[in-house]
Structure 1
């Protein structure tokens, strides 16, 4: 032990050239010493491309370091020196400009295994044979760990950011692993193989294949690892880290790891040449419609052309698509780059016609706009003056000026149709498109049809105008729809269209109200009602929807018609196509029927020559074959009084459900009346059903009692 201690004292002088440390380690059951015998050897979302460690053309570089690139008109550069106080883990670098201060932050976290021989890490300077003019970190290599994290961020949306990473390498040391008759035995050991990883934030790395391996080929490399034992000198194995477009204050992180640990020796890494790029100011123009287009037919539909102009030069122009209130292709898609401190005019106009070439009238719309800057801290003043109307050119416009590098401006123009509300709907035949039978017998059969012809047709009697299979009902004498204030006061009345051939923009059965905004503004409540008035008698005598539709008015919405949130249509069917089907059947008996009606065979066949004094049991089945729930259904049946009087007879009446009829201990007199019940719509292809049973007895002579 004394001999080993003396030897340790003799060689423990710290040799920092290439960070090879000659040290001693204990690796086995005997004391082993290790000595290094090897000499040191030793880059709004912009899509613009650029060279490594450079900004895209016309973008402005903000550089922090010792060797700033030359500033040119195409590649403007401003710079600050890279200063750092040893041991500090964070610092802001501020570029003071009239357009607003640009602040770049460098910070280190999770620093472990610090080696303080040349200074408290992180420290600024150059390490002989390793780094130059860099922020340096030196770590003891005692394990395979994440040594530190480097984060950068900018208070602006950057088109690119990055820095240089110096001296990412590895080392192989020849280590004494034992003695043979007093002579040392050596083996190679690797104390470290550095790795840098920017994958978490979409970063990209360059690498040198002589010294590094990469997780992906360039340009998609995001993790670079030193090749075991490959050591480099200053500048030989530098790596450029870079990130593309990032929003303001995005934190861009790098993890520095040690991936091998077979012995102990310190290693260093340096960071320098920090930079970020700001794109020239960009503007995005968007369109919003609050209400339907004034002109909206296939041959005459308003579209909006939005243009960005520099003087008389059109920098960018786009024309919307869509119909109604829907606006598609409504912006310049990719934001448009504009020059710094230059005036631009944002203009809109209406074009229409079948080919979208006829100049329309923008004055048909009220117009407002807002411009916002996604870049925080910018001193650019957003325009707020009213848009200017040019009657000769039929345009409206406003001016944007004095934008600065890094500005990301979105201007949204909102148009509101002038002064009119519209309310549109249909009166329609809700028979699901089922072909109607003209024959009396066939039509009677239709009345009692509970097959899948009805139950399997989801468009039948569902209260919804399915225009693919159903048709509107045109004007009939006495049929009208009124727009009211929901308090009985009429605003307007129209009749559904009966001749689409002469009204091409108004299909059969459609009704439409066009009402001035002032008439609606005078309402005390923000609601109106559509009221259907039906003739009497009328062929379509069964309603599938309510005859009154209440509409809640929405601020900024002027066009109201059937959509996913409301139904303004009125559905009707003929009597034989009603959803409720009542089928009555009977069973002749000797008045000794058991109290339970179950098991009796009822028949719809006609009863002939029944003997006086016998009994007839009846079953009334109520079916719902349609596709809306039926509410408040009630069955009534009055017994015959002439020529032979009949009365109710035991057993007591009953029903398939107590909700239809309660089994009581008394017999009705003259008429049986069910309870008011609901009959839900079918969930499959079988009609839902409720049944009422009762027994009757016929008298023996005319007008006599049984």
Structure 2
């Protein structure tokens, strides 16, 4: 005690006659804090476990904070990683309390005990909780986060006497706890929580503190006294929570231990995370079904799920994945992975391995997945299975020795080229082995979404006799299609053909594969996948034509003296730049180069170029004519010109014979050159 404080009003932090009645009153309500957080449909309700308080808290002083601790929770569900930090505004007493430690309160309630000794009433400290996702290491938003702060109390010491540095008749307090709770969204926006509960004497808005300025409200440090409690909840997802703790700045303070005016004494609060919600990690169950009898009763199957990252079998440690049974019976509890967790950041392949005498060529494989609500997963790619948070799928692989399956994908064969351009011959095309190669390179390339009228037909091939009932299906939203036929439908056909039927408004109008594919049917083989059709938009067409020109006075032999460059640089004769200041009667030499920037050979190419004519669709003012020398193909006369091409001295159309372009550096380019005379003044009038 200090002589500057009136003894008649002195109260201490450990005063028992105030705290004990509070404990007796609250004992019947201890179970109130165990209420489960209400979560949206499909979300998990969870809360910190005692392990989480221990991992994030610290028994050391000053505390050693937990960083990147995977939350254990009570449901063993969480993929959330939490970290703590403490930020001090002002200062702490060097010899005072400095704890942030796990503390068990009455009724076995776990908490963080935030025990501080501030040097002045303006000092404060913030405990910050941040949450990340263990799969991506990115911020993880939690929903309906709720927390309670206990022991928000105030200790009134008495009025100053004017001695020992105190001011006469000024009320002094050892401490007056105040707390502000703030959340932050993934965008960094601050969020004020909703007040769910407060002690009767506590303020209705933050900062939360006892409203009395003339007396004490003291609660035992390990109790859950409702008078000193505040509970809040956030109504939007947050990735961080800050709990800022200090003193009411409107009061005066006296440290009863050191006898220092203006210096609050030791004080503490307890922080409890009541609950939070999150979507659970995705679940997957993979099961084997036989729709017809085994070829041999000793045929068995092992279902497998592979991680596409490294092709590892993630189900290799599950004992029940191999079937037992005979005929078409799979013994209950075998041929299944059971339910297990998968990473939402990865893709997986559903497949199977053989056991016993099985030869997989004797069986077809059909895949189907259903969600936990019973709905079917319609856009299913068993080679690229990806589940997200909250998903719980049961997938089956059905083997059948009776049915034939013919399937494929209509895909965008663009090699993942971004910002396509029909005239671009940069390395993103020429050095891209996936672009326009006629092969479905998943996952770099993707299926083309369904357009009304976009179908695939399965029929007998042209020239084959017999009766076959053609079938037509729409492509799926992921570009896939499939046909399932019985042996009676296939009959004795040794081949069938699938035809892509493109609608008139089809954006992907350039084919990289034939629109008719032949499927050869062999004995004991029932599954015929990967009958894929490649298409691209016009801007991604493989054939590029580049036209360049050179203006001259008609007196030189341009074929002998002009180089073949056309890029417009100073040393080049030919240029792609627009012609300006040409005088009627001059000559224009043209060069047209055809370039195959794709990875599929192109054939039956014809170059056509119509010479300008006065009054044509371009409103030309003059008529140009073809002049000597004779048009020529640069590659030893290839491309060549038919007799129908415009003759020397005439106006008309330059036409080449058909030619091909390969995919190698030397074979992917061909060019022609020809000379024209720009119309003279007479025929320009």
TM range (shorter): 0.3 to 0.5
Relative to the length of structure 2, the TM-score reads: 0.40
Larger Rg: 1
Relative to the length of structure 1, the TM-score reads: 0.39
